[in-house]
Amino acid sequence: MDGNGRWAKQRQRPRTLGHRAGARAVRTVVEYCLKRGIGALTLFAFSSENWNRPEDEVGALMRLFLRVLESEVDELTRQKVRLRFIGDRSRFPEAIRLRMAAAERIVLPDAKLTLTLAAGYGGRADIARAAQKLAERVREGSLAPEQINEATLAEAMDLADLPPPDLFIRTGGEHRISNFLLWQLAYTELWFTDVLWPDLDDALLDNALADFAGRERRFGLISEQLPALALEAR
Ligand code: IPE
Ligand code: MG
């Protein structure tokens, strides 16, 4: 979700205003997923590196984060959106951590959308955490070192219970991953736009999906093998 600061600057307003507009765009993309039957949405809300921004911006983001959690969780639950968080939340103020935990405790057996907010998240840290979990299992004797492989590592990563992401969208014109889901994005289709996050609308998301629909996903194979791959997946 990139471009909040520039959106505000274009209007000669403080960056904080851009973040508030960015929060409204989250509503837009959530509604879009519900309309289109998209079952999983993961938003990069705050990276592990964002803690190093100026103190007043971090403070404003924390207040906004808390306000959004206070005002949106009930409505999301009503809409059958399951909310979860990934990342290191230990540095977040306690009021936020309590709200996160409360939101994650809500049981929604008939959830339509799993909305994951990556907060204090870093893709490298995610991989390191997974390695540490497996190392602990080796130490306690429940895992042999030879059993450390792509499958066991994948199980220890964030989002392990979801299919790998199909489509990655980055707004704001930069062409990079910036330490988002490094492991999980291995075969994800990447889509970049200059549109700033607060300006996101249904038409933009329609464009991204149309582009995605036109891509041939070969997963390292050649075109001729794909019909067989599709059959296997059934
Ligand atoms: C993204 O917008 C929001 C967060 C990282 C919290 P930016 O704040 O990075 O906006 P720009 O890149 O300065 O425009
Ligand atoms: Mg940015």
Residue 88 is among the residues annotated as catalytic for this protein: no
- Whether the CB of 46 sits within 6 Å of ligand 1: yes
Nearest CA among 12, 9, 14, 24 for reference residue 197: 24
Atom of ligand 1 nearest to the CA of 22: 3
Separation between Cα atoms, residue 18 and residue 44, nearest integer Å: 16
Q: How far is the CA of 2 from the centre of ligand 2 (A)?
A: 5
Residue among 2, 65, 68 to mutate when testing ligand 1 (max atoms within 8 A of CB):
2
pTM (2 d.p.): 0.96
How much is the pLDDT for 202? 98
Other CB atoms within 10 Å distance of the CB of residue 230: 9
Q: How far is the CA of 189 from the centre of ligand 1 (A)?
A: 22
Identify the structural domains of the chain with CATH numbers, from first to last: 4-233 (3.40.1180.10)
Q: Which two structure tokens, joined as six digits, stand for 47? A: 């990276």
Handedness of CA 62, 66, 71, 77 (dihedral sign): positive
Q: Could you list the mean pLDDT of each consecutive 10-residue stretch along the chain, which spans 234 residues?
A: 98 98 98 98 97 98 98 98 98 98 97 98 98 98 98 98 97 98 98 98 98 95 93 84
Contact 16, 8 (CB under 8 A): yes
**Is any atom of ligand 1 closer than 6 Å to the C-beta of 123?**
no
How far out from the chain centre does Cα 34 lie? 16
Q: Is the CB of 21 under 6 A from ligand 1?
A: no
pLDDT for 234 equals 80
